[in-house]
Amino acid sequence: MALSGVQIFKLLPKTNCKKCGHPTCLAFAMKLAQRQVSLDLCPDVSEEAKKVLGEASAPPIRSVTLGAGDKAVKMGEETVLFRHDKTFVNQCAFAVEVKDTMSADEINAVVDQVLGSEIERVGQKLRIDAIFVSNASGDAGKFEAAVKAIAAKAPEVPLILSTTNPAAAEASVKAVAANKPLLYGANKSNVDAMASVAKTHKVSLGVAAEDLDGLTELTDKIKELGVEDMVLDSGARTAKEIMRDNTYIRRAALKKGNKSVGYPVITFAQRDDVMLETLIASLGVMKYASIIVMSSIDRWKSLALFTLRQNIYTNPQVPLQVKQDIYKLGTPTSDAPLLITSNFSLTYFIVSGEIEGSKVPVRLAVLDTEGLSVLTGWAAGKFTAAKIAQFIQESGIEKEISHKELIIPGYVAILSGSIEDKLPGWKITVGPREANGLPAFLKARTN
Ligand code: SF4
């Protein structure tokens, strides 16, 4: 159960020495209670207090990592129910199911899809994160062979090994233990054996229950058996059940300090109807799933889900930003227009979308305004004549283009004179106020 600030204060040295960077022990205790600081900041805390506070200050949802290496996926550590309260921390992983009854060609085709799924959007690499290998055949040898074949072809892709057969679990986990797969399939009838496999090979364990009560009994038992890293499946399969159970689990972990459900959640979205499957997966993105398993990953589906996930898991206090640079849109020649805008991603996407729609090749200078739009950036002193001039001068663009004309957004027409003062020899042209005026503006210049 989470401790209050006053309860934590009673366990601190109470010397107000300020070594933790806080004026008093009470101030530090209040921050600890809100999980805004780490106990490590106090060098004088006693071992006994550390034990009590360490437990109490642990994240309400345990951090569990799926896979190893660069493509490993960190899950859990969430602290809020609603994104606007603070931020969601570790974005959910998308996994696609491969059955060990599929032919080698079919398995290879899915693995190729996973390997080719990565796209870059607003500076982030987005991909299908994992492969869920299911022991549909019920045969331990077939399962192990499928797992080995996938791991050989895609060694960096995290795997979820789904079986309720402890012998199949042992063989397959042993084969890829170094890749830190998630072993999924511990239930009330196999829990001892599955926990033993997970413990022996130091991998996390997916716990499959029929309801929430059954889930807490299982996680408590598995913890007693010495396995700390778990992923929860409450048995929810319909949209209504997923919404209900995932919300109960998150709420119980955060608001009630219920450690039995303080783990990441796996949600199964597989449906014959791909549109319905995408909708269920979307529900998982929004409502607390850490892993979402799907039966297929057509491009349209993954792009839609990537975008939703990116929107849900960005920090609402930090706007999405594009890297400061000069971007080529189309294939601009040296005399192509040079425009400038801010690095707020929405601004960039709207402006670049309108330019691309115009089919006029241009260079688009994107100034770092810390994610503010042009007008807000100007008001906040981030989109100023001095910053624009410095950016243009330091970019080296003068060597790349055959003119010295910069087109600025109409909203900051007021800056044109001062930019010309700071960029001697340059002509500043005022473009349209709204991005949707750009196609006509650019086409008129080429006529
Ligand atoms: S470092 Fe520890 S003892 Fe010193 S003020 Fe902070 S909490 Fe109190």
Tell me, using a 6 A CB cutoff, whether residue 12 lines ligand 1.
Answer: yes
In this prediction, residue 222 carries a pLDDT of 97
Task: Render pLDDT for 314-360 as a digit per residue (tens, 0 to 9).
Answer: 888 777 788 999 999 999 999 999 999 999 988 998 999 999 999 99
Task: Render pLDDT for 108-137 as a digit per residue (tens, 0 to 9).
Answer: 999 999 999 999 877 788 999 999 999 999
- Does the domain made of 64-313 have the CATH classification 1.10.357.10? no
pLDDT value at 206 more than 60: yes
Q: Whose CA is nearest to atom 7 of ligand 1?
A: 25
- Chain region(s) in the chain for CATH 3.40.50.11600: 325-446
Q: Contact, 279 vs 239, CB < 8 A?
A: yes
- Output the CA 33–ligand 1 centroid distance in Å: 15
- Output the CA 27–ligand 1 centroid distance in Å: 9
pTM to 2 decimal places: 0.77
- Chain region(s) in the chain for CATH 3.20.20.20: 64-313
Task: Render pLDDT for 364-405 as a digit per residue (tens, 0 to 9).
Answer: 999 999 999 999 999 999 999 999 999 999 999 999 999 999
Tell me, using a 6 A CB cutoff, whether residue 17 lines ligand 1.
Answer: yes
Task: Render pLDDT for 248-294 as a digit per residue (tens, 0 to 9).
Answer: 999 999 998 899 999 999 999 999 999 999 999 999 999 999 999 99
- Chain region(s) in the chain for CATH 1.10.15.40: 5-57
d(CA 170, CA 352): 52
d(CA 342, CA 324): 9
- Output the CA 228–ligand 1 centroid distance in Å: 31
- Please name the CATH architecture into which domain 325-446 falls: 3-Layer(aba) Sandwich (3.40)
d(CA 385, CA 383): 7
Atom of ligand 1 nearest to the CA of 23: 5
Fold adopted by 5-57: 3-methyladenine DNA Glycosylase II; Chain A, domain 3 (1.10.15)
- Choose the residue to mutate in 28, 32, 36 for probing ligand 1, maximizing ligand atoms within 8 Å of C-beta: 28
- Output the CA 3–ligand 1 centroid distance in Å: 18
Q: Contact, 90 vs 62, CB < 8 A?
A: no
pLDDT value at 1 more than 60: no
